[in-house]
Amino acid sequence: MKFNTDKPYKVIHSQKLAGHLMARGFVLVRTEPDRRGNGRNVFLFRKSDELERAITEYSSSRSQSEWSDVSQCKRPSTDGPERARSSTHANRSQD
């Protein structure tokens, strides 16, 4: 399917970005199959300066948060679930 290029639509390939834009109040005009034939859909929004700003803000916040999230990751405790299981097992054997 070919996109009608004379209409002022912005084609969004990311479902996460499309969801973010809709949550911010932008109206999804329609979805279409991606013409690259990858089995995915694209999301069409009306072009506007506000839409472009929202996309730019989303992109910059994603790139910043990806690095800050990595630095704040903590390793899961390896003794947490095992301890809970063994103490539960111990309580049952005492009954």
Mapped onto helix, strand or coil, the DSSP state of residue 4 is coil
Inform me whether the pLDDT recorded for 88 exceeds 60. no
Inform me whether the pLDDT recorded for 92 exceeds 90. no
Residues 16-56: tens digit of each pLDDT: 999 999 999 999 999 999 999 999 999 999 999 999 999 99
pTM of the entire predicted model? 0.61
Cβ contacts of 30 within 8 Å, gap of 6 or more:
44
Residues 66-84: tens digit of each pLDDT: 655 545 555 555 554 444 4
In eight-state DSSP terms, residue 85 is H
Judge residue 52's burial from the number of C-beta atoms within 10 Å of its C-beta, 0-12 exposed, 13-18 middle, 19 or more buried: exposed
Q: How would you classify residue 39: left for phi > 0, otherwise alpha for psi between -120 and 50, otherwise beta? A: left
